[in-house]
Amino acid sequence: MGFWSNKHVLITGHTGFKGSWLSLWLQRLGANVIGYALKSPTTPNLFTKARVADGMISIEGDIRDENAFTEIVRKFNPQIVFHLAAQPLVRKSYNDPIHTFDVNIMGTVHVLNALRYSESVKVVVNVTSDKCYENREWPWGYREIDPLGGYDPYSSSKGCAEIITDSYRRSFYKEKGIHLASARAGNVIGGGDWSEDRLVPDIIRSCKERRSPLIRNPLAIRPWQHVLEPLRGYLNLAEMLWDKGELFAEAWNFGPSDEHVRNVGEVTRAIIELWGQGLSWVYDNSYQPYEAKLLKLDCSKAKVRLGWHSRLSLEETIEWTVNAYKHEAEGNDMRELVQSQIEAYERKELVM
């Protein structure tokens, strides 16, 4: 907590699912948090439910508006920046590829270009995705040195964002002493995600309406992790960039261990059982655009060099997630829930 106390931290995309959790954690750590993002795209949303704006400066804006973003940077003089703002959905990228490329590629360009002129910024963490890799359905995890690519527009846009990050790091940031890294996380779940066409929110919506969830790809294998796991990785990475600079200014994977890698059908059954209404899932045999069946990350570098690894078992990850949705469904305070899970996660870290 000492490191983050009174640090000026700017988060793009703070109104989103991961951005809201990160904002609340940084508030707890004593940082002065500034957020820049569009309104949350879903109703309900964690940003509103958990009153995230109460403990920070929250500014509505589009990352593609470089002039407006530059003014925010000049006004608040952030020292550390987390870039999370994005179009984050694979299926939506098929429906609107131009918007996806515009936000995820040119939005990243505008953010990085604005930050290169800042005299206050020292550390930048650009959060991309595990889908940035050229997925060949390998049974082993992808390493940070493996080829980038992407079949669908979303994955392709994240591969491009990684290339852009590397270009800005080498062309502009290094000579200015700004330490820029990218972070690639696997499937993230947790309370407060209400996105469309995302597995856990879709299951929860079905359970709340007492109907069987429709599952598109029950045999698809994913690395499941609670949202706090990669967020801790981002925080650890930012601290090392601050202390060690260029030694850590590169790409990093943050994913769970192999025992967390399960197929969609297994995870769906576990969530339904914990919800406790005796439902079962139904296979959705309607037309579906292409999605990868197998995707794993090799996180050896983060484990060895950052000392980072998963703290929660898969069973705990699913239990914490379902408990959070139940908490919300019963009309309880989501801000209190998030803070209590962060506190429990911190305590768990201390005894490892």
Sign of CA dihedral 262, 150, 307, 29: negative
Write out pLDDT tens, residues 203-229: 999 999 999 998 988 988 888 999 999
CATH code for the structural domain at 8-347: 3.40.50.720
Span 74-100, mean pLDDT? 97
Q: What is the pLDDT of residues 240-291, one digit of tens each?
A: 999 999 999 999 999 988 888 889 999 999 999 999 988 888 988 776 777 7
The predicted structure's pLDDT at residue 287: 67
Give me the pLDDT at residue 149, please: 93
Is residue 106 a contact partner of residue 64, using CB atoms and an 8 Å limit? yes
- Of 74 and 351, more confident: 74
pLDDT tens digits along 102-138: 999 999 999 999 999 999 999 999 999 999 999 998 8
pLDDT of residue 335: 98
Label residue 346 by pLDDT band (50, 70, 90). Answer: very high
pLDDT in tens, 24-79: 999 999 999 999 999 998 999 999 999 999 999 999 999 999 999 999 999 999 99
Which run of H or E residues covers position 349? Answer: helix 334-351
Question: 3-class DSSP state for residue 294?
Answer: strand
Chain segment 164-200, per-residue pLDDT in tens = 999 999 999 999 999 999 999 978 999 999 998 899 9
Query: What's the mean per-residue pLDDT of the chain?
Result: 94
Query: Residue 191 in 3-state DSSP?
Result: coil
For residue 280, the model assigns a pLDDT of 87
Q: Where are the domains of the chain?
A: 8-347
Alpha-carbon dihedral 59, 65, 68, 70, rounded to 10 degrees:
110
The percentage of residues in the chain with a pLDDT greater than 90, rounded to a whole number, is 84
Looking at residue 352, its pLDDT comes to 44
**pLDDT tens, residue by residue, 139-150:** 889 999 999 998
pLDDT at res. 351: 46
CA 141 to chain centre: 19
